[in-house]
């Protein structure tokens, strides 16, 4: 685990193992730690790469970081260059990391070898969940973030994924410094659903370039399961009794599905 310079950001990356690279991109309110179990599983055969995205965890980014889809794709491209990763990556993405990863995959399909999508959106007609709607509103978003305490945060997390441990929830909460909270607000405000309009039509091209699968928790309260069918692939796995974090709630199942998809890439 170390820090890397990616343009004006200092990016914290958990990188372990050797072999073909797997790039894991986390969501909100997570950090790279959400992939610790996956890294423990895959590091004996693959080079596992899990960064803290700009605005999260230990990564230090400018307050004016550009969260446009174009720049998010560029950020991942530059991150891989900083890590001297020249091989195509197996991409595993979740939540906000799904948006980042899809922008990268659509911009650089020649740099992706397989793609696993979990509980995310990339659609102009998606209406953000209640918490995200509040974050997107000026003043109300700042007030919501400022007043958010552990009890409230824990209740929201447990509602979507009752299986999450206190340790996992506390780790996420502890990573929410006020600086990070401000950047998260900027992230959400940059992601007006209308920006996906000119991108979402390209999703059908993904499975033409590399094996693509979708894994979804049927009980996700943030992102409805119906979205899982809209990524232009028939390789969709809906996990029963699972909420927003399949990689934590059904780790063994998810790791097996990731392995299977990687195998399809040859």
Residue pLDDT, tens place only, 159-197: 767 777 888 788 878 877 777 788 888 888 888 889 999
**pLDDT at residue 229, rounded to an integer:** 96
**Highest mean pLDDT (candidates 78-92, 118-132, 137-151):** 78-92
CB 94 within 8 A of CB 26: yes
Query: Is pLDDT of 212 > 80?
Result: yes
State how far the Cα of 210 lies from the Cα of 20, in Å rounded to an integer.
15
State how far the Cα of 181 lies from the Cα of 187, in Å rounded to an integer.
10
The CA distances from residue 149 to 130, 143, 154, 156, 231, in Å, are 17, 12, 9, 11, 35
Q: Which residue has the higher pLDDT, 127 or 239?
A: 239
CB 129 within 8 A of CB 193: no
CB 56 within 8 A of CB 173: no
- Per-residue model confidence as pLDDT tens digits over 128-141: 777 777 777 888 87
Over residues 211-221, the mean pLDDT reads 95
Over residues 197-202, the mean pLDDT reads 94
Q: What's the chain's average pLDDT?
A: 91
pLDDT band at residue 45 using 50, 70 and 90 as cut-offs: very high
Over the range 137-168, which residues count as b (16 or more CB within 10 Å of their CB) and which as e?
Answer: eeeebeebbeebeeeebbebbeebbeebeeeb
Query: Is pLDDT of 43 > 70?
Result: yes
Q: What is the pTM of this model?
A: 0.91
**pLDDT at residue 169, rounded to an integer:** 84
CB 48 within 8 A of CB 42: yes
State how far the Cα of 36 lies from the Cα of 43, in Å rounded to an integer.
10
In the chain, DSSP finds a helix count (H) and a strand count (E) of 12, 8
Percent of the chain past pLDDT 90, that is, above it, reads 68
CB 26 within 8 A of CB 56: yes
Residue for token pair 């999703």? 203
Q: Which residue has the higher pLDDT, 38 or 152?
A: 38
Q: Which residue has the higher pLDDT, 168 or 211?
A: 211
State how far the Cα of 171 lies from the Cα of 31, in Å rounded to an integer.
9
Q: Which residue has the higher pLDDT, 36 or 140?
A: 36
* Long-range contacts formed by 250-259: CB under 8 A, 24+ apart: 250/217, 251/37, 251/38, 251/41, 254/38, 254/118, 254/215, 255/37, 255/38, 255/41, 255/42, 257/116, 257/213, 257/215, 258/22, 258/38, 258/42, 258/90, 258/92, 258/116, 259/42
**pLDDT at residue 165, rounded to an integer:** 80
State how far the Cα of 265 lies from the Cα of 147, in Å rounded to an integer.
46
Q: Within its chain, how far is the Cα of 228 from the centroid?
A: 15
**pLDDT at residue 1, rounded to an integer:** 64
């Amino acid at each position: 685990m170390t820090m890397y310079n990616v343009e004006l950001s200092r990016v914290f990356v958990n990188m372990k193992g050797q072999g073909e690279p797997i790039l894991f991109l986390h969501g909100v309110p997570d950090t790279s730690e959400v992939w610790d179990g996956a890294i423990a599983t895959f590091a004996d055969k693959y080079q596992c790469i899990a960064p803290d995205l700009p605005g999260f965890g230990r990564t230090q980014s400018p307050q004016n970081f550009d969260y446009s889809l174009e720049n998010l794709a560029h950020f991942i491209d530059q991150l891989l260059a900083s890590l001297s990763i020249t091989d195509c990556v197996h991409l595993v993405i979740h939540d906000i990391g799904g948006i980042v990863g899809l922008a990268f995959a659509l911009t650089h399909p020649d740099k992706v070898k397989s793609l696993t999508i979990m509980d995310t959106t990339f659609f102009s007609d998606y209406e953000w969940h209640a918490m995200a709607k509040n974050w997107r509103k000026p003043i109300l978003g700042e007030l919501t973030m400022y007043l958010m305490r552990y009890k409230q945060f824990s209740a929201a997390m447990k509602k979507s994924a009752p299986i999450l441990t206190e340790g996992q929830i506390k780790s996420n909460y502890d990573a929410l410094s006020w600086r990070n909270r401000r950047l998260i607000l900027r992230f959400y405000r940059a992601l007006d659903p209308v920006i996906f309009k000119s991108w979402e039509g390209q999703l059908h091209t993904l499975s033409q370039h590399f094996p693509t699968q979708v894994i979804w928790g049927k009980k996700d309260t943030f992102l409805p399961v119906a979205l899982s069918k809209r990524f232009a692939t028939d390789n969709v796995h809906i996990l029963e009794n699972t909420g927003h974090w399949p990689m934590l709630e059904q780790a063994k199942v998810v790791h097996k599905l990731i392995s299977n998809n990687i195998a399809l890439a040859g």
